[in-house]
Homo-oligomer: A and B are copies of this chain.
């Protein structure tokens, strides 16, 4: 385990990424407030660069590298938003990004990573193949591996979303985020606690990928086994670093059902006119279905991303 980042590192990350990242809007929605009895403030990271909060952590990490490290390029294995985020961050710094992707990665995700100029290597769709292929690339190129979440620079970067949210809304009672590898929630919880804010940070997971919830309640890191959920950003297991932060600073982790996620996606699209990906809908589903006590409270929700495949749309 590397070290838990400090609030100072979150603040440094905010300064470091400011020239590159969007300061995303915080939206409210009267009808969602009426439906839930809460007053909800949505931090719209679906409107972030590459369509996901992941750009914050990747950008902070890439711009934290020494010139020597940067000159070797960066590498990761990812089929999702971290790959696109790292690719764009590397392009902005003018360095190489190597991304290992499983062969069965969706076309739209491949194209996004390609469009940012990353070198993609395809492999079999297993974790072993991904890790092996990445090791080969690291040996061959000398690139610096950038882990998607179990890295203090990534965590500090992700914490900047909550920092911006709290700069706008000072008296939140609760902040909700989804939990995948735990980078976002640990960055959020660190930032809230570091700033001395009273808001409780609560994680939400799909019932079909509830490893963090089980880890949280058992006190032991339980890896994800055959997770199944439409929220494809939340299939990963926690890391030792993110788990340590979650145990210390997160108030609770709750779960939602698949049909609740699907209904929440649609509610946000219809009522808020913004596109969110399934992972983003997970905390929304928790509020809509009273999985968290939010009636009468001021609730911050980080909408994590908006990358969906529109191929199936009616045109």
User: Is A313 part of the contact surface with B, judged by Cβ < 8 Å?
Assistant: yes
A107 proximity list for chain B (CB < 8 A): none
User: Is A314 part of the contact surface with B, judged by Cβ < 8 Å?
Assistant: yes
User: Is A269 part of the contact surface with B, judged by Cβ < 8 Å?
Assistant: yes
Q: What 0/1 readout, one digit per residue, does chain A (290-315) give for beta carbons within 8 Å of chain B?
A: 00000000000000001100101111
Could you tell me the distance between the alpha carbons of A22 and B47 in the complex, rounded to whole angstroms?
Answer: 18
Taking A51-B273, A273-B51, A274-B275 as contacts, is the C-beta distance between A262 and B46 under 8 angstroms? no
User: Is A37 part of the contact surface with B, judged by Cβ < 8 Å?
Assistant: no
User: Is A228 part of the contact surface with B, judged by Cβ < 8 Å?
Assistant: no
Number of copies: 2
On whether the beta carbons of B314 and A262 are closer than 8 Å, the reply is no
A25 proximity list for chain B (CB < 8 A): 25, 27
Number of interface residues, chain A, beta carbon within 8 A = 26
User: Is A49 part of the contact surface with B, judged by Cβ < 8 Å?
Assistant: yes
User: Is A272 part of the contact surface with B, judged by Cβ < 8 Å?
Assistant: yes
User: Is A266 part of the contact surface with B, judged by Cβ < 8 Å?
Assistant: yes
A310 proximity list for chain B (CB < 8 A): 266, 269-270
Could you tell me the distance between the alpha carbons of A266 and B310 in the complex, rounded to whole angstroms?
Answer: 8
Nearest B-chain residue to A274, judged by Cβ:
B274
CB contacts under 8 Å to B, within A272-286, are 272-276
A266 proximity list for chain B (CB < 8 A): 310, 313, 315
On whether the beta carbons of A272 and B314 are closer than 8 Å, the reply is no
On whether the beta carbons of A314 and B313 are closer than 8 Å, the reply is yes
Which of B49, B273, B314 is close to A47, meaning CB atoms less than 8 Å apart?
A: B273
Beyond A22-B28, A27-B47, A47-B272, list 20 extra A-B contacts (CB 8 Å): A25-B25, A46-B273, A47-B273, A47-B274, A51-B273, A262-B315, A265-B315, A266-B315, A269-B275, A269-B310, A269-B313, A270-B310, A273-B274, A273-B276, A273-B307, A274-B274, A274-B275, A312-B313, A313-B313, A313-B314
Provide 22 A-B residue pairs closer than 8 Å at the C-beta atoms, listed in order of the A residue. A22-B28, A25-B25, A25-B27, A27-B47, A46-B273, A47-B274, A262-B315, A266-B310, A266-B313, A266-B315, A269-B275, A269-B310, A269-B313, A273-B274, A273-B276, A273-B306, A274-B274, A274-B275, A275-B275, A312-B313, A313-B313, A313-B314
Top-6 shortest CB links A-B: A273-B306, A25-B25, A312-B314, A273-B275, A46-B273, A274-B274
